[in-house]
Amino acid sequence: MASTAQSLPPLRAREDVDALIARLAPDPAWSFAHCTPRETTRLTHGYHRYPAKFIPQLVDRLLDEYLPRASDACVNDPFMGSGTTLVCAVERGYRATGTDVNEVACLIARAKATPLHPQRLQAFLAGWTEEVEAALAGRGPAQAEGEAPAPGPPIPAHERLDYWFPPQQKRDLGVILGAIRRVEDEDLQTFLLCCFSHILKNCSLWAAGSTKPTRSRTKRPAEAWPTFLRHLQRMVRRNAAFWAAVPPKVRAAPHAYVDIRCQDARRQPWPDASADILITSSPYVTSYEYADLHQLTALWLSVVQDLRAFRAKFIGTGSPLVERPLCIRSPLGQATARALWARDERLGLAVGHFFMDMEETFREAWRILKPGARACYVIGNTRLKGVDVLNAQVFAEGLLLAGFSLERVILREIPSKILPQTRDPRTGRFTSPRNAHFHAYPVEYIVVARKGP
């Protein structure tokens, strides 16, 4: 009979783990199927789309179960993405730390996790939007006598911008970005840059609804300024709700509660035994190329100079710049990489490196967590080239080998995750449902490990 997460005995041995995870049945209490998009994008969670973002309800539930009465705690997410975990933590008055190698993720997470004083924001925006409108109309800021003329809009010289943006959108976006760059307050600038980043897709020739960088021949890109203003108003409302939700101590000193670093999860900048819980969703092997998906923002903000070197930093989706010998500790991980390698050498190596890199992050997680603290990993299993890739089991084995004990594994259905559900059988990458051959990640696991017995 299938067992639910609640009925799992304490798990230590690897063989128990693999068998028990394989027999799990989905736990309806963790699917959050009743939640509307309005609820899953509440507060600042709706600032910016992000591939494979998880829903705040899941993080909230883990915090309820594992940090129920903490008055002061530190919550960590090593693969922070758009910062869902951090926003949930800050909302409760906890300190939140996060790392991500993606500059765009760090920008979004900073904007989302920093509540701004609503009246001050409104007052600032009244003047700032007037300035942008004047600049768009060609009037520009008034020039003092003898002063050099204001420079033109900061449009990066990159041929890809002409590939994605028609001239009008490119010019207007340049004007908006110029006005954002002139804002001196860092928090306000981050808030505006997040809005700017979010609208880029709509204002470009990027095919609507596509999670891949596909150029549409028929799309009419949205006008930049009205689109920016509409999203800005949404963000202003969401910020006001977030401001009202966070405790007064966070409002008084938001920066004391959030520490975000654009850094590799394998080398966490935090001291030993400093975090009370880790809640994360790791990258998925061969799924998203975040470097490609965020290229519009990366191009405009000039955050990526060398796309190849940038890609190589990503666990799971990156192609390593240097050859590395495979050294996977999980026996199931080793067997999986070997089976894949026999069918496709490149894929076998990619999956092998993914497991190896994740094992390094488990050791780092063990180091930064306090004794008794939990590490919660959200991950899906899949099948590539006819080989089962049982990430949840491999993660459980890796966590055990890093010194954790395994406390619980939850299987959940994912009704609302923004994740393509099918893979191209040739490349193993996500594809449109039209080319469906099998499902990828229709359910996912939450693997909960504990530092200590």
Residues in touch with ligand SAM (CB under 6 A):
50, 52-54, 79, 81-82, 84, 99-102, 105, 264-265, 281, 283, 290, 313-315
Q: To the nearest whole angstrom, how small is the minimum distance from the Cβ of residue 163 to ligand SAM?
A: 24
Q: How many CB atoms lie within 10 A of CB 430?
A: 20
The first and second tokens of residue 319, run together, are 């192609």
CB proximity list for 159: less than 8 A, separation 6 or greater: none
Distance from chain centroid for Cα 200 = 18
Q: To the nearest whole angstrom, how small is the minimum distance from the Cβ of residue 375 to ligand SAM?
A: 14
Q: Give the 3-state secondary structure of 151-212.
A: CCCCCCCCHHHHHHCCHHHHHHHHHHHHHHHCCCCHHHHHHHHHHHHHHCCCCCCECCCCCC
Q: To the nearest whole angstrom, how small is the minimum distance from the Cβ of residue 105 to ligand SAM?
A: 4
- Give 159 or 323: the residue with its C-beta nearer to ligand SAM: 323
The 10 Å CB-count burial string (b at 16+, else e) for 401-417 is bbebebbbbbbbbbebb
Return the percent helix, strand and coil in the chain, to nearest 5: 45, 15, 40
Query: Tokens 């394989």 appear where?
Result: 22
CA 349 – CA 342 distance, rounded (Å)? 10
Q: What are residue 388's phi and psi, to 5 degrees?
A: -70, 125
Q: How many CB atoms lie within 10 A of CB 432?
A: 14
- Give 165 or 310: the residue with its C-beta nearer to ligand SAM: 310
- Give 61 or 117: the residue with its C-beta nearer to ligand SAM: 61
- Give 53 or 451: the residue with its C-beta nearer to ligand SAM: 53
Q: Could you give the count of Cα atoms lying within 13 Å of 427 in the half-sphere of its Cβ?
A: 10
- Give 56 or 178: the residue with its C-beta nearer to ligand SAM: 56
Q: To the nearest whole angstrom, how small is the minimum distance from the Cβ of residue 196 to ligand SAM?
A: 19
Q: To the nearest whole angstrom, how small is the minimum distance from the Cβ of residue 134 to ligand SAM?
A: 36
What single letter denotes the amino acid at residue 224? Answer: A
The first and second tokens of residue 243, run together, are 């401001």
Q: To the nearest whole angstrom, how small is the minimum distance from the Cβ of residue 263 to ligand SAM?
A: 7
Cβ–Cβ under 8 Å, residues 223 and 169? yes
Q: To the nearest whole angstrom, how small is the minimum distance from the Cβ of residue 275 to ligand SAM?
A: 15
- Give 290 or 395: the residue with its C-beta nearer to ligand SAM: 290
Residue with the CB atom nearest ligand SAM in the bound state: 81
DSSP 43: G
- Give 76 or 169: the residue with its C-beta nearer to ligand SAM: 76
- Give 121 or 384: the residue with its C-beta nearer to ligand SAM: 384
Q: To the nearest whole angstrom, how small is the minimum distance from the Cβ of residue 218 to ligand SAM?
A: 31
